[in-house]
Structure 1
Amino acid sequence: MSVFFENELDTEIPAHYQDIVEDIIEASLDFLKCPYECEVNVIFTDHAGIQAINKEYRDIDAPTDVLSFPMIEYEVPGEFDFCENSPLDYFNQDTGELMLGDIILNVDRIAEQAEEYGHTRRREVAFLTAHSMLHLAGYDHIDDSERLHMEKLQEEILTKKGYTRDNEEE
């Protein structure tokens, strides 16, 4: 698994944020039983940075907490086998890793939502990463049944790794 980090902020990202992101990416891939080594790009930004990306790619002129840009269009969420049929489209030719896509995390919103929801930033980083990894695996939350299914999967990933509200440590 390769995770490439980019920091668009003027300040350093807390080191444990990267550790949490890597932990949850790996846990998500294990949970989804992804049969391949994967590559994920992660960008840390702020309100202004994510708002600009949100406007450019989604035509929404507002900041959000996380954006996901999958590299793969799935026939069935979480089923990766079809990627072997088009290796040039889905796999990094230098490393052989499946290129899942990009996760863009808003560190301003991470702090705000952690306080708003009464849990740690650690949990918020883990939650947003799990959410985004499910998007990179083809899941979505356009209707209520999809949203509920995604929420269930997110909680299973987080619980398995100990990122629960009752296990709070910053």
Structure 2
Amino acid sequence: MSIDFSNEQDQTFDFDFLKVAEDVMETVLDQEGCPYESQVCLVLTDNETIHKTNLEYRQIDRATDVLSFPMVDFPAPADYSVLEDDDSCFDPESGELLLGDIMISIPKAVEQAEAYGHSVKREYAFLVAHSMLHLLGYDHMVDEERIVMEQKQEKALQQLQIGRD
């Protein structure tokens, strides 16, 4: 797995953003049985930038915690069969599956961690897991989908022993 990582914000914490993201991403990919080496672009940003991006791409005029931009149009969540006859989602140089882009607002993650009473590391890891599931075709538009995503997110974080402090 490779991560094209960009930290455009200036807050620091007692954990390594890249290491936590890598651990969470690999755990989710293993959990979802991804048979390919994968690549994700991860951008850490501020509320202003994510607000502009949210408005531009989703026509929602507010900051949000995380945005996911999947590269693969999975017919069903984590249904890798769509890739068997289509190599357009693979990096021609590395051969890695290009899953997509994740943008996380660190100030929003801090705000939510405080509101939920857990660490910033836990909130950040949750947002990475949540977004990875979106990149793999999961959604939460109806309760049944939401419950499945919540269970998968929690399973990944428990496996990494990243709990609600």
TM-score by length of 2: 0.96
Q: Distance in 2 between matches of 1:7 and 1:163?
A: 22
- Kindly state the Cα deviation for residue 146 of structure 1 after the two structures are TM-superposed: 0.6
C-alpha deviations, 1:83-142, integer Å up to 9, x for none?
12111x110000000000001010001110111000000100110000000000000001
Q: Which residue pairs with 2:36 in the alignment? A: 36
| CA distance in 1 between partners of 2:80 and 2:40 (Å) | 15
Aligned amino acid, residue 135 of structure 1: H
Residue 163 of structure 1: aligned partner:
162
- Which consecutive residues of structure 1, in runs of 5 or more, have no partner in the other structure? none
Structure 1 vs Structure 2 CA RMSD:
1.1
* 4+ residue segments displaced more than 4 Å: 12-15
Q: Confirm or deny: 8 A CA contact 1:7 1:13 kept in the other structure.
A: no
Q: Tell me how far 1:13 sits from its aligned partner.
A: 4.8
TM-score (structure 1 length as normaliser): 0.93
For 2:102, what is the secondary structure of its paired residue? strand
Q: Percent of counterpart pairs with the same letter?
A: 45
Give deviations 1:43-92, integer Å, cap 9, x for gaps.
011110100000000000100000000001011101213212111x1100
Q: Report what 2:56 is aligned to.
A: 56
Match of 1:68, as an amino acid?
S
Is contact 2:44–2:103 with CA below 8 Å preserved after alignment?
Answer: yes
SS at match of 1:85: coil
Match of 2:93, SS state, is coil
Change (3 A) 1:92 1:74: same
Q: Secondary structure at the match of 2:60?
A: coil
